[in-house]
Amino acid sequence: MKKPVKKTEKIIASIISKLSCGATLTNICRGADMPTLRAVQLWREHVAELEGRIHAAWVRGLQTCFDMNYDDQQRLLDNPTNYDPKHINAMATITRDRSHQIMAAQTRLDKRYAVQSKTEISGSGPFVVGWQETPTATPTDDFPLSDEPKGGEARR
């Protein structure tokens, strides 16, 4: 069991600095000179200003994690012959998933990353989105038709 660590500005500044650099609170609290995770959670519950500082540092840390993840992806792209193809595939999948998780968290926690547009659709009929330069009489004429069975038809 860890011995208790007193809440001081030096300890708080250290926690905030590490969070801003992308470290997790659970990992920070494992340090010998750091408070337990439960202690930090209690501090956050009782001091709104501290909660705000820790939250802001965590959001900044997400950006740092995104950058580090991008660096990992770039390292794979820059040196593909240094890795086994299965390793590259696994790492590409992991880094892609990490990017999606980070961006999802950012859009929920930092409103600067939230979607800033709204779309309303009224009426009936198909809604077709495309990149055509000019409109055509029937926009679906340019779509390739699939030979796949339509709803209700049996596959042969």
Domain boundaries, position 45: 9-113
Residue 3 domain flag: no
pLDDT of residue 83: 85
How many CB atoms neighbour CB 109 within 10 A?
Answer: 15
CA–CA gap between residue 126 and residue 1 (Å, rounded): 64
Residue 90 domain flag: yes
Residue 47 domain flag: yes
**C-alpha distance from residue 90 to each of 14, 68, 80, 136 (Å):** 34, 17, 13, 44
Q: What is the DSSP letter of 34?
A: S
Residue 97 domain flag: yes
Residue 133 domain flag: no
Interval 38-90: pLDDT, tens: 999 999 999 999 999 999 999 999 999 999 999 988 888 888 888 888 888 88
CA–CA gap between residue 118 and residue 20 (Å, rounded): 32
| Domain count within the chain | 1
Confidence of residue 128 (pLDDT cuts 50, 70, 90): low
pTM for the predicted model, two decimal places: 0.63
> What CATH number is given to the structural domain containing 48?
1.10.10.60
- Are the C-beta atoms of residues 105 and 62 closer than 8 Å to each other? yes
Residue 43 domain flag: yes
